[in-house]
Structure formats: C-alpha cells, structure tokens
Structure 1
Amino acid sequence: MHVRSTLVGATALLLSAALAATAAAATGPASSSGGHGATRKAVEAAVAAGVPGATATATDAHGAWSATAGTGDLRTGAPRSAADRYRVGSITKTFVATVLLQLEAEGRLSLDDKVDKWLPGVVRGHGHDGRRVTVRQLLNHTSGVFDYTADEDFDRAYFLKDGFFQHRYDTLTPQELVAIAMKHAPDFAPGATWKYSNTNYILAGMVIGKVTGHSYATEINRRVIGPLHLTATSLPGTRVTVPQPSSRAYSKLSLTATGPTYDVTTLNPSIASSAGEMISDSADLDRFYAALLRGKLLPARQLKEMKATVKIDGDPNTRYGLGLMDTRLTCGTHVWGHAGGIHGSTTTAVTTADGRHALAFNFNGDWTGSHAAVVEAEFC
C-alpha cells in the first residue's frame, strides 16, 4: 500500500533529542570486516534525517548481516531490533502475484483471462469494465483501474489525523474498497500506459478467492509462508497489533513532514487487504525474494512472465513486472524486489537476479529517509 499523505520528501525535522542519544548497532560476520559499512552509514543517515529508527538485514555468500539504528519506541527509548516484525505494505503484492502465477502454472487460470470471468460485474462503473481488463493488467498496473487510496474521502478518513483516530479500527471488505474505486473514472484505457493502483491487487486477491475457494491469505500461507518457513510473516486480517518482537510505528498524519509525531502502531489493516496488509521481518523478506528469484516458488515460464516488465513513466531506471520491480542502480547492478508503505512503516526488499545477495530494511516513520541510498550502499 502506498501511504499517500505522509511520504512527503527526503528531509524533515528531527523527531526529538532522544534520537541523538541512540547508537547504531551491527551484528554478524560482516560487521567486523566492514563489508557492509556503507550500508550501515546509510541506515544511520536515515535516522539523522529524522527517521525514528531503522533495521536492516542483508544475506550474501558470507552469510547474514544486520544493522539497526535509532529508536523503536520514542516513549521509552528502546532501540530497534534486527528481529523486529513490521508492516510491509505493498510487498504483499509480490506474494499475491506469486500465488496467481502458481495457479496459472497449475492450469487453473490464465493471466489473459478477463477479470469479469472471475469477478462478474465487480469492475463496473464510471467507465470501468472488467470485460476489458485482464488479470495480467492487474498485476503489472496497466489496467487503468482507479486507485481507491486516491479517493479524497478515503484519504481524509484513513490517512489524515482527525480521520485516522476516528477510523483506525474500522473493518473494510475488499468489495467496499473496490466500490470506492468504481465511483471514479478509470485513469486510462486498459493497456494504454502504466499507473500504480492498489485496487488492482484488491481485485487480484479476490480472483485468488474465486479460483481456489479459499482466501488469498490461506493460499499465501499454504503456498509460500509454510514451505519457506517464514516464521515472522503473517497476514493479520483485522488484527490491529503487530506481533512481538516489534517496534512502535510513527507518522505525521499530515500532508507535510513537520508538526507533531503520532504513534500509529495499532490499526486495522483491512484498509490495505491484499494490496498491503502483511507483516514480516527482514530475514524472512530476504529468504522470500531470494527463493523467488532462484526459481524455488515458480516454474521457469512463470518466473519469466513475472520478470517481463513495463516502463514506469518518470523513472527511467525502474520497470514493473508482475508484482515485482526491476531497478537499475547507478553502478549498473540490477536488483529485483518491491517497496511498501503503510502508516508509520516503510520497507524495501530487493535481491540480485540470481537470488544470492538480498537486502531488506524498514523505517518506523513514514515521512522521511532515503531508501534508494541504502540500496545503493549495499549493492554498489
């Protein structure tokens, strides 16, 4: 899920004097050799720029390495932990796409099926027509379907301060989220161009339900989380808390990066559903993306389809596949993965194409901090 109202730039006011007193920590074999020194400095720089705290874990041929910086709880001063679980937002999309590609490999659907085949009449209204949109277009964001999080009423109710504190524990169904999108015209005709839309993945989760007779959460658990032994990864549904160990999550709940900082740790993630409800930790995310890119979750044909990318307007260095992004770094290295944001939590998880070098990290504030700088530091 994309946090529209709170991710506003790369600089912000320092949160409190407590941040100045928190030290960075690194563990693992690389902390003594300095092999990840640039990554550690980039994580520390994010905290210096105003992020309350950060946690990162990388895996490569030398093993696993972790670093933390800043604080996990502004009230107590407790530090962040390498074992922290956190909300991963739109990284959920890669899990959803993986399940749909597995179903295609089993012959249970085609990515070129029209959405209306599985969800008859659901994508209708103000020019939307599920008879013209394919499952593939949902997964690579070329459907043109309006993003429900861009609805102004939804934005005020769930992302800005007054609305958030009134509605943070609301339960919304996928059908209700899609209905919000259907009140608007499509952004463009199906296939005409690219635009990120969380509604695409709400619909994708609903398709999984229709094809399998089970919820997308059940299928992700059975097909991905269980086989990979992702013990810190979960789909909370309507559960409002994050399992321990975890840190607090913070937001400005504002259109600017200034002003008060609010604890937004507890919320009902049904507002994100299959577009962004998941919880994980850095080690699990490294394991997931490494396994995915090494072909352990998908047959070669389906992995190739997932990696077939389309252009993202305005970003010449990033292309979007099926729930998977290909980013070319300044040093020429390509990394594959996804980023995610939800109230008080922003996350990036990427790996090299061979799955042998992976990085996942999280900031527990949603208004500042350079994710690109951390990725560049690790891989370049």
Structure 2
Amino acid sequence: MSRRTGLTAAASALLVGTAAVPASASAAPRTPHGPRGRALQRGVDAIRATGTSGVLAEVQDARGRTTARAGVADLDAPAKGPVPWDAYYRLGSDTKTYTATVVLQLVGEGRLKLTDTVERRLPGAIRGHGNDGRRITVANLLRQTSGLNEYITADSGDFTPDAYRRNRFRSQSPEEQLAVALSKPPQWLPDADDPAGERRWSYSNTNYVVAGMLVEAVTGHPWAQEVHERIIEPLGLRATFTPGTSSYVPRPTATGYTYFPDETRPTETTLGFGGGADGCLISTTHDHGVFLRALLGGRLLRPAQLAAMKRTVPVQDWISADGVRYGLGIAWRPVAGRTDGVWFHGGTSLDCVSECGVTPDGATAVTSAAFTLRLDSAETHEAQARAALRLVDSALRADPRSPSPSP
C-alpha cells in the first residue's frame, strides 16, 4: 500500500457532500510570479500529467497568497474552462487534523485527558470480539495506535462504477461505522508499557469516528457544532463547513472522477457521502491553508497541547515518502532542502485528493486539490501521490525559512 489506507479502502467510503452553501473566499492572484509561483505551477502541471482532470493549489503566508491551476473543471464540457480559483472540494482525511484540534482544546480546558480510556468516556462502546475500550486511550485514537480495525470494508471485487452509483447516497451513523469495525477481533490491544504506540501503528478511520463520539460525550454537542464554534467561526473560514448527510459539493467546484481498478476510462464520482469526524469537511485551498497556519502558529492550541500534537511515532507504508512520523492528527516528514521538515496530513475521496504542508512555525502553508483519483493501477496511483508530495516540497523550498527543531 502506498497511501493512507491502500488503493481501495482509503477511498471507498471517504465521500462527503454539503449542507448550506457559504460564500467563497476572495479572488486569488491569477498568475503565479517569482520562484514560488513558478514552482507551484510546475507542481500542478506535474499532477495534471499523471492523468488528473484538474488541479488547484495555493501557497500562503503573512504576505499573501499565490495560486496555480491546471486542467479543466469538466472533462465532458471543456468549454466550461479550468478549475475555479476558489473551488470547493472534500478535504477527506485532512478533516482528522480539525477533529484532533477540538479534542486537544478539550484537554487544554481540563475536560478530557489524553490518558483517559474510551471506556471511561463511552462506557460499553468498544466491546466484543476481543475489542476492549479499557485498553484504548484518547491518545491511542488520535495517534492511530489503538489497534481498532478499519470500518471501511472495501470489497475490491465489488469496487466498481456500478457499486459506487448504488451507494453514493447511502449514509452511516458513527455507531453503525463503529459496529462494522468491532465485528472482528482488533489488530492488537495497546500495551500499558507502550503508551505512545512506538511499536505498533496502523491507520484506521475508526479511530476518528470514536474521537468524534468522544467530543459529543464530553461537550453534549454534536462534533460538527464544536468544529464550527471552535475553529471555523473564530478563524473566519467562510468556505469551510460540515456537510451532514448530503452528497453534494457546492459551486464553484470541479467535477470529480475516479479511475476504478482495471478501468481505462474515468467515472464521474462527484456525488457521495463519507462519514463525519474522520473525513467529511468541505473547504477551499485558501481556507485550509488559513487553518494550518493558525494551528502550527499556536493560535488554536495552548503550548502544552500543541507540543503533545507534535509528539510523533514512526510509521511505514502510509504515504509515498520516507521518514514519516505521525502525531495527534497530524504527521511530519523530512523535506530535501529544508532542515525543519513539513507538517501535513492529506486526504483521499473518490472525487478528490487533498495534499498539504505547513512549516513548523506556521509561517507558510501549501494546499492542493486534484479532482481525479487514480486507482486503476498501483503505478498510476503512486505517480499521482508522488507528484502531489513534490508539489508541496518544491513550493516550500522556493521560499525557505529559518529551521526549527525536527521531532
């Protein structure tokens, strides 16, 4: 596997839609200038060359924003033009960083502890088939070291365009998703002598389903309300929102596509539902960059909680890069030409691949959306994933900053 939960499992259920339609962000610069702009344009062109219908990317810092795009908004109607500058798109698993931020805010307020067990906060929620909520802590959930199975049950034998069309309006509650994960024994049970999870790590969307349930149990409010009141509204993210059970993305946007396994032509996959706290947010490249800069810049978390978020464990076979380490809802990796590396997450939906990066001080953020997912072969999937990572790396190298200690 080369990316987030594999070629099929990562994308089979991470589909989201919209509820209300907020106003889009202000117009972006239309022509990339300088080393940063040229690097960004080369990056989106390279992603486009992997067979992506349309790509949009942005770099932002205190001085402003630089954007670039390539491809078209609709393969069947190229006359509609390129991807809109402020196109909405599904963040997919980039949502996990928002969820982890809310949980850590609750920790900072003394309403929750990272050492709390799931059983203490959600009695009886994780039981059966050897699963044991008494052994799983809040930190295990956010760091992906719980051993919980993936609730996304992608059956590659039925991972087809017809199966997508049958299921694109089907929604699941968090309880239903968790029940799927608990229907078989866990991958492992966390050890008391390995609280950070240094020995065993496995990416599972189920961890963040449970994290969203914890937020509701602690606050008495839905996860979506807490994300809005704690992050979206304070930061003025007018183009970021939770979709509920709708399967639509608002305009302006671009048509999304998926090359299903062994298919030679893309299938339009714009519509679909994809969970909640694990991957449902809709945003823009600009809004997501504002969030990342605020988070790493210390505007959303107290110093102790931001430090906890950045305590990482090594991971293997998650993305197409070496040296990756995963923290609490955010990951770190080295970048050639920078001594401080980059913090990131990324997300995959059937209609869009989100890739991002932010400097350790929050000064500069890079965000991108590619409106095609290549699952037709391991080679095409890998090429797209590596091109997206290179876009982030090259944009950051084009404007290096003073290094800070790597984790």
Question: What TM-score do you get using the length of structure 2 for normalisation?
Answer: 0.83
Task: Kindly provide the amino acid, as one letter, of the partner of residue 90 in structure 2.
Answer: R
Task: Kindly provide the amino acid, as one letter, of the partner of residue 76 in structure 2.
Answer: R
Q: Say if 1:345 and 1:363, in contact at 8 Å, map to a contact too.
A: yes
Change (3 A) 1:152 1:233: closer
Q: Say if 1:156 and 1:163, in contact at 8 Å, map to a contact too.
A: no
Unmatched runs of 5 consecutive residues or more in structure 1: 9-25
Equivalent-residue separation in structure 2 for 1:173 and 1:372 (angstroms): 33
Change (3 A) 1:30 1:264: closer
- Does residue 131 (structure 1) correspond to residue 134 (structure 2)? The answer is yes
What does 1:266-345 correspond to in 2, within 5 Å? Answer: 266-269=271-274, 272-314=275-317, 316-332=322-338, 333-345=340-352
Q: Say if 1:29 and 1:64, in contact at 8 Å, map to a contact too.
A: no
Task: Kindly provide the amino acid, as one letter, of the partner of residue 311 in structure 2.
Answer: A
Deviations 1:210-240 (A, max 9, x none): 0011111000000000000001101101011
In the other structure, the counterpart of 1:224 is 231
Q: Say if 1:57 and 1:66, in contact at 8 Å, map to a contact too.
A: yes
Cα distance, 1:6 vs. partner? 8.2
Task: Kindly provide the amino acid, as one letter, of the partner of residue 378 in structure 1.
Answer: A
Pairwise CA RMSD = 2.1
Task: Kindly provide the amino acid, as one letter, of the partner of residue 238 in structure 1.
Answer: T
Equivalent-residue separation in structure 2 for 1:33 and 1:350 (angstroms): 20
In the other structure, the counterpart of 2:160 is 160
Change (3 A) 1:156 1:215: farther
Aligned residues: 356
Cα distance, 1:316 vs. partner? 4.1
When structure 1 is superposed on structure 2, of 348-357 and 313-322 the one drifting more is 313-322
What does 1:1-380 correspond to in 2, within 5 Å? Answer: 2=5, 4-5=7-8, 28=29, 31-77=32-78, 78=80, 79-149=82-152, 151-153=153-155, 159-190=159-190, 191=197, 192-252=199-259, 254-256=260-262, 258-269=263-274, 272-314=275-317, 316-332=322-338, 333-367=340-374, 368=381, 369=384, 370-380=387-397
When structure 1 is superposed on structure 2, of 278-287 and 60-69 the one drifting more is 60-69
Equivalent-residue separation in structure 2 for 1:3 and 1:51 (angstroms): 19
Change (3 A) 1:6 1:117: closer
In the other structure, the counterpart of 1:15 is none
Cα distance, 1:3 vs. partner? 6.8
Deviations 1:73-120 (A, max 9, x none): 112113102200100100110000000000011111111100011111
Equivalent-residue separation in structure 2 for 1:41 and 1:201 (angstroms): 35
Task: Kindly provide the amino acid, as one letter, of the partner of residue 35 in structure 1.
Answer: R
Deviations 1:326-345 (A, max 9, x none): 11112234111210001111
Equivalent-residue separation in structure 2 for 1:48 and 1:181 (angstroms): 37
Cα distance, 1:313 vs. partner? 2.4
Cα distance, 1:33 vs. partner? 2.7
Equivalent-residue separation in structure 1 for 2:394 and 2:149 (angstroms): 35
Cα distance, 1:260 vs. partner? 2.3
Equivalent-residue separation in structure 2 for 1:228 and 1:62 (angstroms): 18
Question: What TM-score do you get using the length of structure 1 for normalisation?
Answer: 0.89
Unmatched runs of 5 consecutive residues or more in structure 2: 12-26, 191-196, 375-380, 398-407
In the other structure, the counterpart of 1:18 is none
Deviations 1:110-142 (A, max 9, x none): 111000111111111221100100010000001
Q: Say if 2:296 and 2:361, in contact at 8 Å, map to a contact too.
A: yes
Aligned-partner SS, 1:66: strand
Task: Kindly provide the amino acid, as one letter, of the partner of residue 63 in structure 1.
Answer: G
Cα distance, 1:299 vs. partner? 0.5
Task: Kindly provide the amino acid, as one letter, of the partner of residue 76 in structure 1.
Answer: A
Aligned-partner SS, 2:346: strand
